[in-house]
Amino acid sequence: MKNLLFLIFFSLSCCLCGQEYWGQVEQHSLTSFQQNNLVQEISLNQETFEIALEKEGELSAKKRPLLLYFPNEENALEAFSLSTVSLFSLEVAKQYPQIKAYRGNSTTRTGVSIRITISPQGISGTMRTPSGMLFLQPQKEGQGKHVYYQRKDALNQTESLPFCTTDLEKIAPNAEKS
């Protein structure tokens, strides 16, 4: 029932927001993380996203901010006003023109910010929200599938996580878990 409500809400959000690059992923075998709604899976149509990015880029060249949508901690799409961030030196950037970085702020909630990197593998990024950090990353097998999850949920899990992590205890034994 929860997944059905999410699908309905997500579909309405997509239609109302006017974006067409994020979509629901068919769930065949849910992991315990997904069953507990700790890790959400979402599909990115890379081609449609690149068209939207190009269109928004043309508009932002006319002094309008780049406006793109990303899933948030409430499993809804949220609009962000983005600006380009230099990721590499000019020489390296010329070698890898397909990798771009952006940062921005929510257009509807103050204090909610995002940093993303776009590459041929997909979108990786972090979103700072009132309830903590949200991470977005492409899945290993690709095909446009991405996962997003909150840091606090990943830290509280005892089973192995379905994505790469760093053992905080090993690299910073005295660090606080937030």
143: left (phi over 0), alpha (psi -120 to 50) or beta: left
- CA angle, 114 then 124 then 31, to 5°: 110
In a domain, 163, yes or no: no
Q: Global pTM?
A: 0.70
Total tally of structural domains belonging to the chain: 1
Which residue segment(s) compose the domain that 149 sits in? 2-26+33-158
In a domain, 171, yes or no: no
Q: Strand, coil or helix: what is 59? A: helix
66 bridge partner residues: 82
- Confidence at residue 17, expressed as pLDDT on a 0 to 100 scale: 44
Half-sphere exposure of 50 (CA within 13 A, CB side): 12
Structure tokens at 173: 């034994």
58-100 pLDDT, tens per residue?
Answer: 766 667 778 899 999 888 899 999 988 888 898 998 999 889 8
Structure tokens at 13: 């959000």
Mean pLDDT of 8-24: 56
Query: Given strand 122-129, what is the order of strands in its sheet?
Result: 22-24, 39-44, 145-150, 132-138, 122-129, 113-119, 100-106, 77-85, 66-71
Mean pLDDT of 157-170: 51
In a domain, 53, yes or no: yes
In a domain, 178, yes or no: no
